Amino acid sequence: MPSLVNQGRVQGDQPPIDMDWLYPDPNTNLVINLMVVPANAGDSRLNHWELFWVVRGTPGDSKALRKISLEEARDGTHKRLNHLTYWGAVTKQISSTSRVHTAYKIPVGFINLDSRIRLEEIARETQVMSPYDNGRLWNCQDFTTAVLYKAVECGLFRREAVDAALHSASSA
């Protein structure tokens, strides 16, 4: 499957707003979660997956999250393109109506700040691929799976924990 140039970013598109200047990633151990947002399309392969950790608040009352997530690619006029893009990890404020409150959240591991920085590096190094190759859809699930297994290779997470999280996510 061919990879996209520049992580799928196109000229003229702007990265998402990153609130890390207001909510910095704390120097403490935090739970990394796999979030599954149902697509409501009857096919779990279309569910959105992303990794996140709470940087302000508690898991039950999140105020700000740092996330590793693919986004829909858009051109300079904000027209949706037929592929995904990765801008890097971003911190987002969470409102009371955010999808994080209704999504499935699956804990993957409990890691320190240095390990989270390494996790972000792994995501930056993970290729964003063309959405279709030989009739198979490539999406955020493939990206997240690749990031998690590379994190296992680097010693950030236990293989058993990642396997269990991915199994749960696939069944959600």
Range 45-67 burial, b when 16+ CB lie within 10 A, else e: eebbbbbbbbbbeeeeebebbbb
Q: Which of 61-70, 88-97, 116-125 has the largest mean confidence?
A: 116-125
Residue 73 is part of which domain span?
5-171
pLDDT interval class at 72 (50, 70, 90)? confident
Q: At a CB cut-off of 8 Å and minimum separation 6, what does 171 contact?
A: 44
Total domain count, the chain:
1
**The pLDDT of residue 7:** 62
- Separation CA 107–CA 165 (nearest Å): 7
pTM of the predicted structure, to 2 decimals: 0.88
CB within 8 A of 136, min separation 6: which ones? 1
Tens-digit pLDDT profile for residues 73-91: 566 666 666 667 788 899 9
